[in-house]
Every structure is written in structure tokens, then in C-alpha cells.
């Protein structure tokens, strides 16, 4: 079964062709990150406009690279959310129009669930498993009974982990997206020079909170009571140390919660998805501390991409063989299902 996947929930315009949920025939991603950098984050209106410009060429390239014609596609899938409404609508409507014109089945896919599937894609699938989603918009732990059946265990009560990376990067005057920048300078720093403690969420040991750490970082970098626009009062060396301390604090917190979840629940493996799973230091920490098999997405699948959308769509369609209505809506927020 050959699936065309489309992804436009945030600032990547992406299309991919995947056979039987695993074999990636093409995976085309146009990242708008450079276009948004001067705004210090994603500028929604600009994102929508760039999706409109890029979606057709990106889709055409995905078909060409895969050596597949539109007639050979068995299913068309697009991310239906969560994300920026104006952006989602472009990919979703494009998929619906193609499905209608070519009389193909169509599925709307949850982008966050697809991030989790990215960790399973082309990897051994062992269930029940612990799922860890760490992206720019979401942070959660859940039990994966099988693909499509999940039981939430915990989530963030404020910022998402990637969002915390981006905000701390902005405090340290690093460009957007901040995660890779923090990872880079943290390598030059000593994580023990600043003491930052992870926040505990009262009576909810598997929940996360990052906003307190972010404020602590702000005051350390710019002075007590400072705001985001205040000038920095630290040296470059201290900046590296702060980045290292921040990264270590939140990754130690994450691994402690993963270990707690594995201890409490029956888990055959851990699957870690979402943009922060791109971080090499985090993988090394899992290598050191995780006692059971764990899987991260392949490099090309960790950030926003359409191969994870097409891959997950295959499993969803295989289960019921029912096409979604072309009337389904784009959703800025979706509960996990």
C-alpha cells in the first residue's frame, strides 16, 4: 500500500511517499525556520503564506523522487492538527482536494501521534510500551497498548519541553529554533556551575513543569527581577554553563520520570518522539540509564516531516479500511487519540 503524506502544522512544508508504513520512498521537507528567525519564533501568517507557495512543488518533488505517479497512490493522508490553524488548513485541504479529484481514500492524522510513530517506524514494535512525546508543543508520557491505543500517564502543566528550550535560547540571545543551539553551546559548558532544580508537580509524579526553571534562568542571565528584553549580565563562559545546567536539569528530570513509569507499569520498550528527540545528549543519557530497549526516530524523522504522517496513516487505514469524511476540520488542539 503506497501512501502520500502531507504535513503543514507549523513551519515545515512536507510531503512523503511511504510503502506499507515503513519503507520511505521519498521524504521532502521545506523548512521555513530561516524565514521566521528575525521574528524570534514562528510568525503564523508568514507560515501560512509560505505553505501556499511551497505545498505543490514539495508534493510534486515527493512523487518524482519516489518514482510514483498520483494514480499509483492508494491513500492520501494529511496532519489535521494540533498546530497553527491557518497552516494546517493548507496541507489538509490540499490532501482533500487530491483525494476527491483522484477518488482515493483520505485520512486526517494527529501530528503528535505521528511524532510518536516516528520512533516506531522502521524499528521493532514491542507492546505495551512507554511513549515519550517531547516536541515544541507537547510533552507527555503515555502507555502505548498498540499503535492507536494509548493511556496518558502525565504531561506538562505549563510549557512544552521544546518550547522551554526555545524560550531559554531566546533569553541567552540564541537564534530560533533554540533547541539545537542550546545543545551546541551546552557542550562547551560545565553543568555543575549553576544549581537549577527541576520543578515537582504536587501529587502528580509523572507530570512536568518548566516555567519556573525558565524564570530562574532569566534571573541568572539578566539579574533578579529582569525581563526578557533586559541586557545580559553574564560572560560567554557563564552562558555555556547555564545552557549546560538547563539541559542537564530537564533531561535528568525526564529520565527520572521515565524510570519511574517503567517501574510502575508493564513496558517492553520506550519510544521517544518529537523534535527534542533530535538531541544527541539525551540519547546518550538514555544509553546510560534506560534499562529496557528504547527507540528514537531516525535523524530524518525526528523533526516535523510527512513520512511519519504517511507511516501512521498506513496502520490506521489497515485497521478499519474506512476513509475519513472530506468534511473533517483542522484542529488547533486535539486530545491524544
CA distance 68 to 16: 11
* Region from 61-69, 91-99, 173-181, 221-229 binding ligand KG4, contact rule CB under 6 A: 173-181
User: Smallest Cα–Cα separation from 190: which of 255, 248, 256?
Assistant: 248
Minimum CB distance to ligand KG4 smaller for 175 or for 205: 175
Q: Distances in Å between the alpha carbon of 98 and those of 103, 106, 195, 230, 244?
A: 8, 9, 54, 50, 47
Whole-number Cα distances in Å, 164 to 250, 305, 318 = 10, 22, 37
Stretch that binds ligand KG4, among 18-26, 172-180, 225-233, 324-332 (CB under 6 A): 172-180
Q: Does 110 bind ligand KG4 (CB under 6 A)?
A: no
As measured in angstroms, the least distance from the Cβ of 186 to ligand KG4 is: 9
Report the nearest approach of Zn ion to the CB of residue 95 (Å). 17
Could you tell me the CA-to-CA distances from 7 to 12, 24, 171, 249, 288 in Å, in that order? 7, 15, 30, 32, 34
| Partner in contact with 82, chosen from Zn ion, ligand KG4, none, beta carbon below 5 to 8 Å by kind | none
Residue 230: Cβ-neighbour burial (10 angstroms; 0-12, 13-18, 19+): middle
Applying CB under 6 A, which of residues 81, 91, 108, 136 lies at the interface with ligand KG4? 136
Cα dihedral 295, 62, 106, 121, rounded to 10, equals -10
165 binds ligand KG4 (CB under 6 A): yes
Q: Does 174 bind ligand KG4 (CB under 6 A)?
A: no
325: buried, middle or exposed (CB in 10 Å: 19+, 13-18, 0-12)?
Answer: exposed
Count Cα atoms within 13 angstroms, Cβ side, for 223.
7
Shortest spacing between CB 111 and Zn ion, in angstroms: 6
**Taking the complex as a whole, how short is the minimal distance between the CB of residue 84 and Zn ion, in angstroms?**
11
Question: If we measure between CA atoms, which residue out of 248, 281, 254 comes closest to residue 270?
Answer: 254
Q: Which does 128 bind (CB under 5 to 8 A by kind): Zn ion, ligand KG4, none?
A: none
Task: Tell me whether residue 159 or residue 207 sits nearer to ligand KG4 (CB atom).
Answer: 159
Q: Which residue has the cell 485520512?
A: 107
From ligand KG4, Zn ion, none, interface partner of 11 (C-beta below 5 to 8 A by class):
none
| One of 113, 159, 166, 253 touching ligand KG4 (CB under 6 A) | 166
Name which position in 177, 189, 297, 311 contacts ligand KG4 (CB under 6 A): 177
208/200 Cα distance (integer angstroms) = 7
Q: How far is the CB of 179 from ligand KG4 (least distance, A)?
A: 2
Task: Give dist(CA 322, CA 325) in Å, integer.
Answer: 9
Q: How far is the CB of 46 from ligand KG4 (least distance, A)?
A: 17
Q: Which of 44, 250, 276, 254 is nearest to 177 (CA)?
A: 276
Task: Work out how close the CB of 272 gets to Zn ion at its nearest, in angstroms, rounded to a whole number.
Answer: 14
In this chain, which of 91, 137, 198, 297 binds ligand KG4, going by CB under 6 A? 137
Helix axes 44-66, 85-102, angle to 10 degrees: 30
Residue 81 interacting with ligand KG4 (CB under 6 A):
no
- Selected binder of ligand KG4 within 218, 276, 308, 309 (CB under 6 A): 276
Q: What are the residues binding Zn ion (CB under 5 A)? A: 135, 304
Number of amino acids touching ligand KG4 (CB under 6 A): 21
276 interface partner picked from ligand KG4, Zn ion, none, CB below 5 to 8 A per type? ligand KG4
Judge whether 325 and 332 are in contact, CB under 8 Å: no
Where do contacts with ligand KG4 occur on this chain (CB under 6 A)? 10, 115, 135-137, 162-163, 165-166, 177-180, 183, 274-276, 278-279, 303-304
Amino acid at each position: 500500500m503506497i501512501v502520500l503524506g502531507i504535513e503543514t502544522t507549523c513551519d515545515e512544508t512536507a510531503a512523503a511517499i511511504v510503502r506499507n508504513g515503513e519503507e520511505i520512498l521519498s521524504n521532502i521537507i521545506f523548512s521555513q525556520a530561516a524565514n521566521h528567525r528575525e521574528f524570534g519564533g514562528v510568525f503564523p501568517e508568514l507560515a501560512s503564506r509560505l505553505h501556499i507557495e511551497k505545498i505543490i512543488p514539495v508534493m510534486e518533488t515527493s512523487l518524482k523522487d519516489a518514482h510514483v505517479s498520483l494514480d499509483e497512490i492508494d491513500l492520501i493522508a494529511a496532519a489535521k492538527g494540533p498546530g497553527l490553524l491557518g497552516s494546517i488548513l493548507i496541507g489538509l485541504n490540499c490532501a482533500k482536494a487530491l483525494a476527491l479529484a483522484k477518488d482515493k481514500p483520505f485520512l486526517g492524522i494527529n501530528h503528535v501521534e505521528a511524532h510518536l510513530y516516528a520512533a516506531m517506524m522502521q524499528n521493532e514494535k514491542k507492546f505495551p510500551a512507554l511513549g515519550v512525546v517531547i516536541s515544541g508543543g507537547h510533552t507527555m508520557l503515555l502507555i502505548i497498548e498498540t499503535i492507536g491505543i494509548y493511556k496518558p500517564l502525565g504531561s506538562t502543566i505549563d510549557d512544552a519541553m521544546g518550547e522551554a528550550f526555545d524560550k531559554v535560547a531566546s533569553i541567552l540571545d540564541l537564534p530560533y529554533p533554540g533547541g539545537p543551539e542550546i545543545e551546541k553551546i551546552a557542550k562547551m559548558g560545565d553543568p555543575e556551575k549553576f544549581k537549577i532544580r527541576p520543578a515537582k508537580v504536587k501529587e502528580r509524579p509523572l507530570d512536568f513543569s518548566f516555567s519556573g526553571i525558565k524564570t530562574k534562568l532569566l534571573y541568572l542571565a539578566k539579574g533578579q527581577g529582569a525581563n526578557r528584553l533586559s541586557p545580559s549580565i553574564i560572560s560567554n563562559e557563564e552562558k555555556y554553563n547555564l545552557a549546560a545546567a538547563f539541559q542537564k536539569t530537564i533531561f535528568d528530570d525526564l529520565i527520572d520520570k521515565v524510570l519511574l513509569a517503567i517501574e510502575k507499569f508493564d513496558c517492553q520498550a520506550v519510544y521517544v518522539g518529537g523534535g527534542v528527540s533530535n538531541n544527541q545528549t539525551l540519547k546518550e543519557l538514555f544509553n546510560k540509564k534506560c534499562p529496557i530497549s528504547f527507540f528514537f526516530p531516525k535523524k530524518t524523522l525526528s523533526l516535523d516531516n510527512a513520512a511519519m504522517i504517511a507511516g501512521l496513516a498506513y496502520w490506521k487505514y489497515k485497521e478499519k479500511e474506512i476513509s475519513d469524511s472530506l468534511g473533517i476540520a483542522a484542529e488547533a488542539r486535539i486530545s491524544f487519540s
